[in-house]
């Protein structure tokens, strides 16, 4: 799954989705939950650019440590097709 945008909504959605996959879906469908990865894509150099540098650093460190949750900064989505 890809979440585009590293603002408050994108970061919160990514974190909540990860929690749902790890805490709920893993109980019901463990084989499926293991296969799902979440990727957050942000065009700017950091997620949550409107917040303090401490909060940005904490969030990026936490995302980097969490299994199954990845984020890319300085990355643009130019085209998407179903």
SS3 per-residue string spanning 26-53: HHHCHHHHHHCCEEEECCCCCCCCCCCH
pLDDT for the residue 82:
82
pLDDT for the residue 80:
85
Mean pLDDT of 30-52: 94
pLDDT at 4 over 90: yes
Helices and strands, counts by H and E, the chain: 4, 3
Specify whether the CB–CB gap between 43 and 4 falls below 8 A.
no
Most confident of the following: 9-13, 20-24, 60-64: 9-13
Would you give the end-to-end CA distance of the chain in angstroms? 13
Joined tokens for residue 71 = 């984020």
CA 76 to chain centre: 15
pLDDT for the residue 45:
96
């Amino acid at each position: 799954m890809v979440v585009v945008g590293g603002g408050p909504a994108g970061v919160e959605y990514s974190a909540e989705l990860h929690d749902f996959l790890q805490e709920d879906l893993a109980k019901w469908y463990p084989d499926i939950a293991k296969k799902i990865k979440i990727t957050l894509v942000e065009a700017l150099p950091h997620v949550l650019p409107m917040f303090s540098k401490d909060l940005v650093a904490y969030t990026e460190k936490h995302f980097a440590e969490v299994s199954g949750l990845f984020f890319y900064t300085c990355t643009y989505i130019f085209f998407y097709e179903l």
